[in-house]
Amino acid sequence: MDRKEAGFVGLGFMGAPMAANLLKAGWAVTAWNRSPGALDAFEALGGARVADVDGLRDAPVIIFMLPDLSYIEVAAAGLLASWSANPPAAGTAVVVMSSVSPSAVKEFGAHVARASGGNAVVVDAPVSGGTKGAVEGTLAIMVGADKGDFQRLLPLFGGMGSTVRRLGPLGSGSLAKACNQLIVGTTTAALAEAAELAERSGMDVAALYEVLAGGLAGSRVLDVVGPRLAAKDYEPTGPAKFMHKDLSFVLESAAAVHAAVPMAEAGVDLYAELKRQGLGEKDLAVVRQAISNLSGIAGCNKTAKTQ
């Protein structure tokens, strides 16, 4: 891009280190966040702040890193109203880096195009790699965009991630992220299930994971989430409740193309149960606790049947 300037909306677990890495990469970043504490910390790193999102209207690119598209639509309402009255510069990019519905982000793209008089384009570019990847600047970034928009945004993405791929037009990035979450969510659940089975059978879970890591069951999910599962460390690096949302996008996308997704269906049920148990704000590894609680229920039911 001609100007290394960006707006950034959402300085949470992931957004704050991503925006900080853009500063390190030489970008002039102006941010908005609902809570002022994150903005204070961002200013201390050399960033700037605005009082509301429509204060970013003249930025050549505006990144949104909020929990879901509904949050983005609310946050961007004033911005789009401003653009309707006075369109932005041609080529303005709105980059959705949150995990959102592949179909809904296409609708959002059409809405932004209308509101901006065709001068702004929406690109979806969700990420994978967790807070560790966000801090280290090694995120995998899955992009849905036209080829030209992708090429001009590559320097921006390069400031936050080490693996950046264009998967197709708008919506493709979000579908790729849904596939990612299908693998991460169900693998984490399988590891948690194995941990509960092993521990209840008298095995050492950490030792089990060590030997699994050396075989075909080894994976990045095991490497990153395994230690938290083994230690029952559920301090949030990102709320587990979002996995239910992300897996729901898998079901939505599968229904549109008549694809069978039995693992995603099971995952949606399990993470819905996790939320019902009040564990949604904990780390994804808390799925082990959810499964443990289900084991307790199953044990009670079995005891009741034998009495």
Confidence class for position 1, pLDDT limits 50, 70, 90: low
Is the pLDDT at 131 greater than 50, yes or no?
yes
Can you give the pLDDT at residue 2? 73
The two structure tokens encoding residue 90 = 């041609």
Mean of pLDDT values over 120-139: 96
Interatomic CA distance for residues 4 and 12, integer angstroms: 22
Terminal Cα distance for the chain, rounded: 72
**CATH 3.40.50.720 in the chain, residues?**
5-169
Can you give the pLDDT at residue 13? 93
Can you give the pLDDT at residue 296? 76
Set 177, 241, 245, 282: catalytic member: 177
**CATH 1.10.1040.10 in the chain, residues?**
175-306
- Cα dihedral 158, 36, 93, 149, rounded to 10, equals 10
Q: Strand, helix or coil at 64?
A: strand
Classify each residue of 111-140 as buried b or exposed e, where b means 16 or more C-beta atoms within 10 Å of its C-beta: ebeebbeeebbbbbbbbbbbbebbbebebb
Average per-residue pLDDT for the chain: 95
Interatomic CA distance for residues 110 and 104, integer angstroms: 10
Interatomic CA distance for residues 43 and 49, integer angstroms: 7
Active site residue 177: yes
What one-letter code names the amino acid at 225?
V
Can you give the pLDDT at residue 3? 80
Q: Which of 184, 129, 183 is nearest to 157 (CA)?
A: 129
Q: Which of 281, 277, 287, 286 is nearest to 234 (CA)?
A: 286
Is the pLDDT at 303 greater than 70, yes or no?
no
Over residues 93-102, the pLDDT tens digits come to 999 999 999 9
Over residues 145-157, the pLDDT tens digits come to 999 999 999 999 9
Mean of pLDDT values over 254-268: 98
Say which CATH class 5-169 falls into.
Answer: alpha beta
Over residues 104-117, the pLDDT tens digits come to 999 999 999 999 99
Q: What is the pTM of this model?
A: 0.91
Over residues 180-219, the pLDDT tens digits come to 999 999 999 999 999 999 999 999 999 999 999 999 999 9
Query: Bridge partners of 142?
Result: 165
Mean of pLDDT values over 119-128: 98
- Cα dihedral 278, 281, 282, 284, rounded to 10, equals 100
Can you give the pLDDT at residue 304? 47
Output 296 or 300, whichever has higher pLDDT. Answer: 296
Can you give the pLDDT at residue 305? 52
Query: Bridge partners of 165?
Result: 142
Mean of pLDDT values over 253-278: 98
Classify each residue of 182-206 as buried b or exposed e, where b means 16 or more C-beta atoms within 10 Å of its C-beta: bebbbbbbebbbbbbebbeeeeebe
Mean of pLDDT values over 165-191: 98
Interatomic CA distance for residues 105 and 144, integer angstroms: 10
Can you give the pLDDT at residue 122? 98
CATH of domain 175-306: 1.10.1040.10
